Amino acid sequence: MNLNVLVLPGDGIGTEVTREAVRVLRHVAAKWNHTLNITEGLLGGIAIHKTGTPFPEETARLAAAADATLMGAVGLPEFDDAPPEKRPEKGLLGIRQALGVYANLRPVRAYASQLDSSPLKNHLVEGTDMIIVRELTGGIYYGTPRGITGDGAEMRAVNTMTYSRFEIERVSRMAFHLARARRKKVTSVDKSNVLENSQLWRRVVTEMGRSYPDVELDHMLVDNCAMQLILNPKRFDIVLTENMFGDILSDEGAVLAGSIGMLPSASIGDQRPSGAWVGLYEPVHGSAPDIAGQNKANPLGAIGSVAAMMSYSFGLKEEAAAVETAIEAVLASRHVTADLRPSGAPATTEQVGLAVCAAIG
Ligand code: NAD
């Protein structure tokens, strides 16, 4: 198979974890005789430095031409006080919107060998296995009007949370489809006791659920969900929610999985005429300026994102399973990065990447 992949390493540890993810991608392609064509592009802080904008047109063009995009992370402390338009994170929102990847799938699993990495008691996290499906191209991160106006005491800021029926339907469909291949349970999360936006969300998800009578649907308020994810994570199979709630809740997944460095993600858009899904793959974590450049970032979230790419964009289930099994083997070896509290000296980012390749064989 021909695999045309755009790689956007981004900033900070984004470049380090992406290097290892690409190592694994090359290894898989060689082992299964796929023709891999990798193009590299600019996104985030590095793109601002080189082109003046966080999401250059050239990057948009390359992403549209690629079969799949693998991204690291963006963000540099020097831009912390810059206006939103001039921040690296604007590049992230830009590419998600340009590719139309409206469903962000964030699997959260507690691996048996990693239970002690979680600050929660073992019996709480053991058996956790869910996918958080976060709407990614709508809601308050994109809604208008937005901005800051006025001066002094009259200064005012506004953001707008907006969803259409169409936007809710398509991400719900994705959630119900995923549930069918798993434990057949969708928990839709909203704030319908306060927000009209959430009332529409709940109404549309309920209507969609009628087309999937084999899938159990329940609704939960976001504040309760934040608590239940910690108290009883095993109760969740698919968690379906809007953009900002999903952004916040999915970081709780880091507590369940033991480290944010563990968590992969797949952002999926429409199906192309070839049948492949438009896909953007990235670890959940950010650019981690506090550990950048030290070869100690955990690359397993980025490597897990390669497994997701194999599965969703290329339909290569055997290759995806091989990468996931190799991740489990490396975790079981306990020669892992510092964030996972290894048994001996911590492994470097590079050593973990090499170990995953060795485990794939
Ligand atoms: P972060 O995820 O970068 O870091 C949070 C904490 O987790 C830090 O202590 C960091 O050292 C640790 N961590 C993160 N990834 C790790 C890994 N792979 N291995 C080991 N430890 C890891 O979040 P932050 O500090 O809030 O944000 C830093 C920058 O990243 C900001 O500019 C932010 O806007 C940006 N950001 C980008 C993305 C993205 O590109 N998708 C996501 C979140 C944050």
Section 130-146 average pLDDT: 96
pLDDT in tens, 335-347: 999 999 888 899 9
CATH 3.40.1390.20 at 1-102+263-361, yes or no: no
Taking CA 72 as the corner, what is the angle to CA 99 and CA 247, rounded to the nearest 5 degrees?
70
- Is 247 among the residues known to form the active site? yes
Closest residue to atom 11 of ligand 1, CA basis: 288
The full length of the chain comes to 361
According to CATH, the topology of domain 119-257 is: Isopropylmalate Dehydrogenase (3.40.718)
For ligand 1, mutation pick of 20, 141, 287 (most atoms within 8 Å of CB) = 287
For ligand 1, mutation pick of 55, 260, 349 (most atoms within 8 Å of CB) = 260
The catalytic position among 191, 237, 281, 312 is: 191
- Is 218 among the residues known to form the active site? no
Q: Please list, in sequence order, all residues whose beta carbon lies within 8 angstroms of the beta carbon of residue 20, skipping any fewer than 6 positions away.
A: 299, 302, 303, 349, 350, 352, 353, 356
In the chain, what are the domain boundaries? Answer: 1-102+263-361, 119-257
Q: Specify burial of residue 81 (Cβ count, 10 A radius: 0-12, 13-18, 19+).
A: exposed
Q: Same CATH fold, 119-257 and 1-102+263-361?
A: yes
Q: For residue 35, which phi and psi values (nearest 5 degrees)?
A: -90, 115
- Is 317 among the residues known to form the active site? no
Identify residue 9 by its one-letter amino acid code: P
Ligand 1 binding pocket includes 286 (Cβ within 6 Å) = yes
CA of 287 to the centre of ligand 1 (A): 5
pLDDT in tens, 158-187: 999 999 999 999 999 999 999 999 999 999
Is the pLDDT at 216 greater than 80? The verdict is yes
Mean pLDDT of the chain: 95
Buried/exposed code over 193-231 (b: 16+ C-beta within 10 A; e: otherwise): eeeebbebbbebbeebbeebeebebebbbbeebbebbee
CB-CB neighbours of 4 under 10 Å: 14
Q: Is the pTM of this model over 0.85?
A: yes
